[in-house]
Amino acid sequence: MKLGKVRIRMPLRAWILLVSGGLHGIAALALLAAGPLLAGLREPDPVPDHVVMARPTEVPDLPPIVVDEQPVPDWILEDQPDPEESLDIEETVDPEMEIEVDEDDFAGFTPGDEVIGIGAGRIRGRFRHPHRRLRPEPEPQRTPARMVARSGLRFSLADVKSAATGTLKLAVKIGPDGKVTDVVVRRRSGVVSFDETVQASVSHWRFEPARVDGEAVASSIELSLSPARSRTTPKPQYPSRAVDLNLEGVVRLAAVVGRDGSVTEVKVIESSGKGLLDRAAIAAVKKWTFHPARVNGRPAPCTVEIRPIRFQLQ
C-alpha cells in the first residue's frame, strides 16, 4: 500500500483484524441506536378472554375458562373473596342464625370452640360451636312414690304350713293423687290369709306420689311383704281355780306384733265365756315373741291370729 510516496507494508493477518474490528464497532453502534425502538415495538403478552371471581356464597354457572387449551381447575373458581370486602365474616353473620350441621362435625370440640363451617350452599366462615344442640338434655329430677300410712298386715297362724314362709310380691300402681289404682300379684307367699288380707289392704294404703321436676305423676312400685314368724310360744297355764271349778273352754286371740317382734297387744276374737280361762290365755300370748313382718325388707307391725287355745280337763 502506498500513502503518497510512502509504502506501508502490513501482513495479511493484520489487515483481517483491522477490517473485522471496524465491522464489529459499526454493528455495536447500530444496536445501541435501535434498542429503544425495538423495546417499544415488543408484542404484548396474551390476555385470557375473561376471568371470573366468585364470591364465597355463590358460584356462577359458566363454562370452564380455557387458556392454552388447558381447563382451569375447579378450585380456582371456589371461595375467592372480594378484595374490597372485609374478610371478617364473623361480624356479618347473625349470631342467632341457624346453621345446619351434623354432630359428627363437632367430634372432639368443647363448648365455646370456634370452628369452620364448610358446605355447598352454606356460609363459609367462623361461628360459635352450637353447644346447646350437642349438650345432652339435663336429666329430670325424679322422686319415687313412698308409703305414708299402711295397715292390714294380718294373717292366721293356722294357715302357716311351715316355719319358713315365702314372700308376697306385688306391683302397685299409684296415681298422681297418691291413691292406689291397681294391685297386681307377682308371687304369693304361701300363707293364704296373709296374701288375701294384704292384697286387699294395700289398695287403701296412702302414698306420697312420685314427682318429676316437682310435678306429681303416676307411677308403679314393687312391694315385697312377708308375714311375722313365731319364735317362742310358751303354753298357757291352766288356772288351778278353773280346775277346781271344772271350767273348760276355747279362746281365740289375735296378737299385735311390733317392729321388734314382741307382742304389744292381745285382742280377744272369741271368748271362752270364762274369764279365768281368757285371762290365762292372754297372759301366755303376751310372752310370745316373733320374727317381725317385713315390707321391702323393713320391719313392720303385723297382726297375727293365734290358733285356738283350748282349755280341757283330762
Q: Kindly state whether residues 217 and 236 are assigned to the same domain.
A: no
Q: What is the pTM of this model?
A: 0.54
Whether residue 54 is contained in a domain is answered as no
Whether residue 43 is contained in a domain is answered as no
How far CA 223 is from CA of 10, 76, 145, 167, 302, in Å, comes to: 140, 73, 12, 10, 16
How far CA 253 is from CA of 76, 182, 256, 268, 307, in Å, comes to: 102, 32, 10, 5, 8
The grid cell for 273 is: 265365756
pLDDT band at 177 (very low <50, low <70, confident <90, very high): very high
Which one of 134, 159, 184 terminates a domain?
134
Q: Kindly state whether residues 181 and 217 are assigned to the same domain.
A: yes
Nearest to 53 by CA among 68, 65, 39, 35: 65
Question: pLDDT: is 6 or 261 the higher one?
Answer: 261
pLDDT the model gives residue 236: 93
CA distance linking residue 123 with residue 86, whole number of Å: 15
Whether residue 121 is contained in a domain is answered as yes
Which secondary structure element, helix H or strand E, spans residue 134, and what is its range? helix 131-134
- The per-residue pLDDT for range 82-123, each reduced to its tens digit, is 555 544 444 444 555 545 555 555 455 454 444 444 444 444
CA distance linking residue 262 with residue 299, whole number of Å: 12
Whether residue 111 is contained in a domain is answered as yes
Share of the chain above pLDDT 90, in %: 41
Whether residue 17 is contained in a domain is answered as no
The count of domains in the chain is 3
pLDDT band at 131 (very low <50, low <70, confident <90, very high): very low
- The per-residue pLDDT for range 1-52, each reduced to its tens digit, is 544 555 556 666 666 777 777 777 777 776 666 665 555 555 555 555 555 5
Average pLDDT of 246-271? 94
Question: Domain with 246 in it: what CATH number?
Answer: 3.30.2420.10
pLDDT the model gives residue 25: 72
How, if at all, do strands 125-128 and 114-117 pair? antiparallel
CA distance linking residue 61 with residue 84, whole number of Å: 23
Domain ranges, residue 287: 229-311
Average pLDDT of 63-84? 55
Q: Specify the 3-state DSSP secondary structure of 84.
A: coil
Determine whether 271 is exposed, middle or buried from the number of CB atoms within 10 Å of its CB (0-12, 13-18, 19+).
middle
